[in-house]
Structure 1
Amino acid sequence: MITAIVAFSTVVDYDASSRIKFVMFTGITGFVLALFFMVAYVAGVRAARGMIALILDVIWLIFWLTAAACASAVLSDGLDTSEMKASVAFSWISFFLWIGSTIISFQDTRSGGSAGPPPTAGPQIPNSSVSMCFSEINIQRASADPSSKRPSLHVPQPSGRCRAFGLVPNSFHPLGLLRLVKRECKCSQGPLATGMKFTVLYGKRVARLELPPTVTLTELSEGLAERFNLQDPTALKFRLQEGQPSVRVRDYPDATLESAGFTSGCKVRMSVSKHAAAADGGQQDSTHAAQQQQDQQQQQQQAEAPATAGDAKFVKGQPVLYRTREGTWQEAKVVDVDYSVLPFSYGIEIDGHYRETEATRLAPLPEAEAAAA
């Protein structure tokens, strides 16, 4: 609003040009719109946020871009005064501020925001990465599709009048369920019901959950297995108190939390069945043994070396032929053999020069072979 006032007040003395008049029009209307939407938002008028505000923001975003361009053109034509420079600067500032207003209006339109200032003390989100809020959501297994692993969500329609009532994905919860968000809900069904709060202990790790009593043990185990990086969710078992038998998910897959004895505020100790742990341990042992055997084979291959120098193809003092990079052969003489590396390194002398090479580039002289025969 301030930038709009400055933008049109600095060009009042230069109203002879049509471009100056357009800048004045945009500044005056921008000031009026900003004042109207501020008052309407505080008063709770629905037009202050939503599609109407988004359309006006888009239109005046184009107007401010044009006004800033017009003011810049007038300044470049020679009207180089401090007032004109201020008008250009504040026109561009208004344009960028209107971009932010347009983005906010677009987000409000997508989220269905209502007018009015935000409440001073809103609902607090629990300080837990696995907490969630439920309200009148019944989680049931899909009876039509037995192969479906995800539960179907049934949300009953309220009988009263709701101004804003929606479901949003809860990215904080490992079960991947939904979180019911309530904004100014005026229903005749009473207050929203909260879920069952309990704590799951797995070794030294802790998970604090808030779930409805209708969640089954299978759904609970799948979410916890994903959170704690466990392979088999059906191998989990829960113990409510010391001395009581554990409840295995494999034996009671469709049992709900309420029927399994879970109560709000309880602490549940989770563990893995012995047969699953034994299977995992056997697999790890076999993998470890195979890795050890492979390492031993590599060490044995690296340690293999000829016991005597007789295993070498050429000996010291033997005349040989050396293959050059061009593919030609030259006569040479082996003057040194290094048996400490594989393959052996041969030091040869060619025309008075020393060079090291491998056996693949050497060949015995025919005369030497005939003499040896």
Structure 2
Amino acid sequence: MANRMPTSIHSYPMIGGDGPHSYIRNSSYQKAAIESVRTKTREAILAKTPNFDLNIYKIADFGCSVGSNTLDVVQNIIETLKLKRQQEENKGDNNEHPEFHVFFNDKPDNDFNTLFKTLPQYYLDREVFACGVPGSFYHQLFSRNSLHIGHTSNTLHWLSTTPEDVCNQNSQAWNKNSIHCTNLVNEVTQAYKKLFEKEIGAFIEARTQELVSGGLMIILGWCLPDGVKMIRTWKGVVFDMIEDCLIHMAKSGITSVEKVESFNLPIYFPQFNELKEVMEKNGCFTIEIMEEVKHPMEDMPLSNDFIASIFRTTMHGVIEEHFGDGVVDELLDRFAKELTKHPIDFKDCQKDMQYFIFLKRKTD
């Protein structure tokens, strides 16, 4: 039998608009993560931002999606830069009011229309100049030495595709019995790890080109504590439940066994030490901060409805692209029912880790 093509994520975004399943209405988990580092971000910018001696600050949010989360992030950065500017003015270093150019980046099919409809008034009053920048952040998106601050949150566990070997029946890394990297099969884990290292290396290299000397890159995301397997976390349990639903649908003739066996999520949660290694490898940034931060919902048992809404919003695109529109709603409805029958035992699950990274571009 011929090798199957890996699952692609070339063009699917989070669910746009403002409907009941939209990202705007179902991203409070991500919002809580952002809020948990608001003060830390503010303090780091005040302490680490050099005096660029410019009247224009250029800020980019990579993987912005839709809604208030990206706007809140950018607002916090702008307010902090204004405060730092005021402190400099009080020292007599500068007395001009800066402009802020903000770039919102995501995949081309991201719902930029809804994003720009929700811009706060001060954008419309031209206190801040904003534009959308479609494209993959695993490539360079801006001209050299053009950005002062970059930011991304809850994005870098998404790969641009799945590793080829996990979809190859002739490979030891063929991931026939799972739809994600469980960390139970070493060959599968190594295939995902290799792709992760390549793509995060590309992400950092692209930011190396775009950020000015002394520029800052702020990264918030998810990884695994060293030694913890993905399958043991509540998110890993969820992925397995989705897989079970797909298998039952294949048995019912709603989709095919071949389709299920060739489906792998383009998601990889690295071990913390793996993440540290890839951040250090580039050599063009100093790691000012790299640490674990507690998610506000970390010790909170999440409701079945809450979990179902999160995964419907975030997984709808990749499932639809692989299986087609006629399968995705049926699958996610079955998943919601399965959660009701078999609620996740959070006490029995190991915890994943939220990390906060603050990089500073070295002086050329």
Q: TM-score range by the shorter chain?
A: under 0.3
TM-score scaled by length of structure 2: 0.16
Comparing both structures, which one devotes a greater share of its residues to strand? 1
Q: Which has more radius of gyration? A: 1
Higher relative contact order (CA 8 A, sep 6+): 2
For normalisation by structure 1, the TM-score amounts to 0.16
